[in-house]
Each structure stands twice: as C-alpha cells, then as structure tokens.
A and B are shown apart, each in its own frame.
Chain A
C-alpha cells in the first residue's frame, strides 16, 4: 500500500498568513493522482485539489497544489477565517486508495 505522510501535524497561523502543507508518498503516485481535502469539525470532507494541481469546482484561487512523483504541497496563499480546518491528502492512482493522517491548520 502507498503510505502518505503529511507534515507538519499542526500548523498555527494567523489570518492573512500563508500556509504550506506537505504530503510525501512512500512510492511514486501514478499519473499524479493526488488530491487534497478540507474537513471542518462535524462536516464531511470537501475536495479542494485533484490531479496534484487542479482546483475543484468553486474552490477559491488562494488554494493551490503542486508537486509530482512522491512530494506534493498544498498552499493557501492568505488564510481566511473559514480556512482553519484539517487537511488530508489522498492518492487515488493505485488500489487501495490511501489518505495521509492529516494536517490541522489552527488559529494562532
């Protein structure tokens, strides 16, 4: 199984600051089938990024994804109050699909 390791575990930032989240895979993610999801407390996850760098429908352009192979990054250029949540990366190229353990972005 492909293991996804996210870092850091927790990111403490203020609104307006830039957030950089990392996702490292134990082996190359085929066709860059790497997605990022945001989950707020008590809610279902929401797709943000797919194909490593493509924004999903209605996702603001302050969210961007980059990377290839085994190293991927989610960047939030300027944090808005509604952005604070848990973020997960997921590979959907090889079965079983796997998720990272999550990064919490909290208000400093």
Chain B
C-alpha cells in the first residue's frame, strides 16, 4: 500500500531554515508529483508547492517562491522541502501529499519557530 512517512518534529529559531523529508513506498516513485501543504495551529490548509520526481519541475505559491526549495531523491524515494528565513508565523504542521488531487498524505511534521 502507498505510504508517505515524514521526518520528525522540528524547533527552529527565527531566521533559520528547516528541511522536512517525506519517504515514499508502495508505488513507483517518479509516477506522481509531490505536494507540500501546511496547516497553522487551529487554521485551514495552505498549498505551498509541488515537484515532479520525474523531471524535477516545480511550481509554488507566490508567497513562498523566494523561500522554498523542493527536491527529490529517486535513489531513496524521498522528497524534501526546505523553507528558509523562518518566522513565527511559519509555525505549522507541514504535510507532503501525493498526486493531483492529493490522494495520499504523510502524517505531518510539526515545525515550531520560536526564540
């Protein structure tokens, strides 16, 4: 069965960077895009961007374009999302999710930004 397993909780200071991983199994890795979605505490869902493991093409929401880097490693079937210049309002659970629409989700990674 399809599984997406994300890395663990992160605590970062303002201005730092965070890199979240998402390891896929149960299907052919390069066949589906990876998306990143975040959810601030008590808030709704926000799409951040997506990457094609097949050719590396990316697309991201304008508000993240200068701070986000999405990559994939086909040798380990893992997708990565790095967010730089963290602020307190980046505190959220970050999810990876497969395909279009989002048919399988990781368990989420809590990123807390605090001094």
Known: A96-B47, A98-B47. A44 touches B107 (CB 8 A): yes
Smallest CB separation, A53 vs chain B (Å):
13
Partner of A97, one of B47, B95, B105, B106: B47
B102 at the interface (CB under 8 A from A): yes
A72 at the interface (CB under 8 A from B): no
B82 close to chain A: CB less than 8 A: no
B100 at the interface (CB under 8 A from A): yes
Majority SS of interface residues in chain A? loop
From residue A108, how far is it (CB to closest CB) to chain B in Å?
22
| Inter-chain contact B102/A45, CB cutoff 8 Å | yes
Measured as residues with beta carbon below 8 angstroms from the partner, the interface class of chain B is 10 to 19
Q: Does A79 contact B (CB under 8 A)?
A: no
- B100 contacts A92, C-beta separation under 8 Å: yes
A96 touches B103 (CB 8 A): no
**A47 close to B44 (CB less than 8 A):** no
From 66 to 115 in chain B, residues with beta carbon under 8 angstroms from any chain A beta carbon are: 95, 97, 100-103, 105-108
In contact, B105 and A46 (Cβ under 8 angstroms): yes
A88: B residues at CB distance < 8 A: 44-45
Q: How far does the alpha carbon of A46 sit from the alpha carbon of B59 in the complex, in Å?
A: 23
Mark out the residues of chain A between 6 and 39 whose CB falls within 8 Å of any chain B CB in the assembled complex: 33, 35, 37, 39
- Interface contact A47-B102, CB-CB below 8 Å: yes
Task: List the interface of chain B (C-beta within 8 A of A).
Answer: 35, 44-47, 59-62, 95, 97, 100-103, 105-108
